[in-house]
Chains A and B, each alone.
Chain A
């Protein structure tokens, strides 16, 4: 089975976001980089599928030369090959991103045969466009299931389950080759081992340079949302504060 998993290099935020002076990007001078949690799970899922079924997995990213770090992270936990669609660091919109991935998929398939499954994250952590996987599937005329949290892959079809609106689960069964976008929770990604890291360091990264295109949205600038600065009321310290909580709950109409 041949699998391709797509990831995106994003800054590792957690605390307060700081913007660059031109307000067009996050100031990453003091930040590390990672991929979205959804994509970490997509990588883990690809490794598990190859472990269970045999075959080969490839990780692909569209990003600056530094995104090689994220490709090696994926190879460190067991992805076999890596492809970097190298950019000059500019932000690509979702239409352009999908087009570059589609071109790369076609080139990879012409050389190495068709991929049974393309795995992506449901949405990128930073831009949150919610559409790249669907655009890739549409261009390649392959079925697409998004937001998947349980995946069973057979020889000719996949069964994909996701959480349904309003609770419960819904199931899709689609033929291979297919595109699946996953959400965190589909698995618990492993940590890379030291031998895995050393192996990944020595591997080749195949490079392609796609031509930049733009369809929009076209960024004007970024800004932080206005904080709703609520003044916190301290109800007390330790277990002695319990009666104050019961009083609060009663006052809010939540108890009894």
Chain B
């Protein structure tokens, strides 16, 4: 029997990151088709606490790297640990989550292993050659390609594959793994952290995002969007035109070169809907577009629409919500 499919799982606090569970789902279907085990690796002191929960996601063995030198995230060392573990297990593929960190660790691992790496894979067919489908242009375009190497390194695009949980699956075997790290592997590491603003709703996790685009017309116009977001317990997101104009900070930008969001509702105000913006918000369950132009590209993506100037419509919605709350 061949070696396992090895999936890198990133912790998010005391649970596995959602995109890592998506990577496990793709890794599981790959392992099933190859008839090999699915194994996972968790890196960092304390990460082992997550290990038992990965059985439900198909992992039969979870390797835990709890080297105290990895208390601070060190991308080269994480990559080195993954390469060494993959070699020790005879892994046929190493799969990571399509997050910034997942891509970073896999790229370091692939660079060290002198192996190719495919980023943001959405589907794959193993065979004599492995055929993959991956995202280009942040998912506006798909590429079919061959990925040939003794060990295939790849990341799984976020929100492209649903996690698969089977709570009746047996608990995984948990094994410690001690990589042989060199001092040079630790020269790049996180030396400081700044916590998010207390009470702030993050764009990535918000249930409601109120988006503003060029059609808002000015920095001042975003006051009504903040009021609406505040009432709904959500947060404000913006298009690239808005950050380029200096109206709002880049941390609020949604799109290919900004944040990816997946709220229950995205309220897109004065946003035309260029593909670079759409790829950032297409994981929203529903989109309400408020736009003067009924032909704007965002309308083809929206579930609901109001034809009108968001600068007049949004204050009216805010007033109506306040009225209904007071009633």
Contact = CB atoms under 8 A, between A and B. Distances in A.
Contact of A168 (B143, B194, B275): B194
A37 B75 CA distance: 24
Contact of B275 (A13, A161, A164, A175): A13
Interface string A111-137: 000000000000101111111001100
Contacts of A93: 116
Interface stretch (A50-58, A63-71, A202-210, A244-252): A244-252
Interface string A217-253: 1111111110111101111111111111110110011
A233 B304 contact: yes
A141 B146 CA distance: 29
A32 to B, nearest CB: 14
B1 interface: no
B308 interface: yes
B108 A95 contact: no
Interface string B270-293: 000011100000100011110000
A130 B107 contact: yes
A173 B313 contact: no
B101 interface: yes
A126 B100 CA distance: 17
B244 A171 contact: no
Interface string A130-158: 11001100110101111101000000000
A225 B148 contact: no
A217 B320 contact: no
A15 B297 contact: yes
B257 interface: yes
Contacts, number: 265
B193 A170 contact: yes
Given A238-B308, A256-B324, A135 B274 contact: no
B268 to A, nearest CB: 12
A146 B187 contact: no
Interface range for A? 35 or more
B12 interface: yes
A219 B134 CA distance: 10
Contacts of A172: 188-191
A191 to B, nearest CB: 11
B296 to A, nearest CB: 11
B140 interface: yes
Given A184-B253, A224-B142, A234-B306, A166 B13 contact: yes
A138 B120 contact: no
A248 B104 contact: no
B179 interface: no
A188 B141 CA distance: 28
Contact of B316 (A38, A228, A239): A239
Interface residues on B, range: 35 or more
Given A37-B240, A135-B107, A256-B324, A239 B312 contact: yes
B321 A254 contact: no
Interface in B286-327: 286-289, 297, 299-309, 312-313, 315-317, 319-321, 324-325
Contacts of B17: 165
A218 B145 contact: yes
B58 interface: no
B218 interface: no
Contacts of B192: 170-171
A225 B139 contact: yes
Given A134-B104, A165-B12, A95 B188 contact: no
A202 B186 CA distance: 45
Contacts of A188: 244, 246
Given A171-B191, A241-B313, A242-B319, A217 B132 contact: yes
A232 B232 contact: no
Nearest to A162: B100
The 5 lowest CB-CB distance pairs between A and B, nearest first, are: A185-B250, A167-B196, A239-B316, A171-B192, A131-B107
Given A146-B75, A167-B196, A235-B306, 10 more contacts: A131-B106, A131-B119, A162-B100, A184-B258, A216-B118, A232-B303, A232-B304, A246-B324, A252-B264, A252-B286
7 contacts: A13-B137, A130-B104, A184-B250, A217-B143, A220-B145, A234-B304, A236-B306
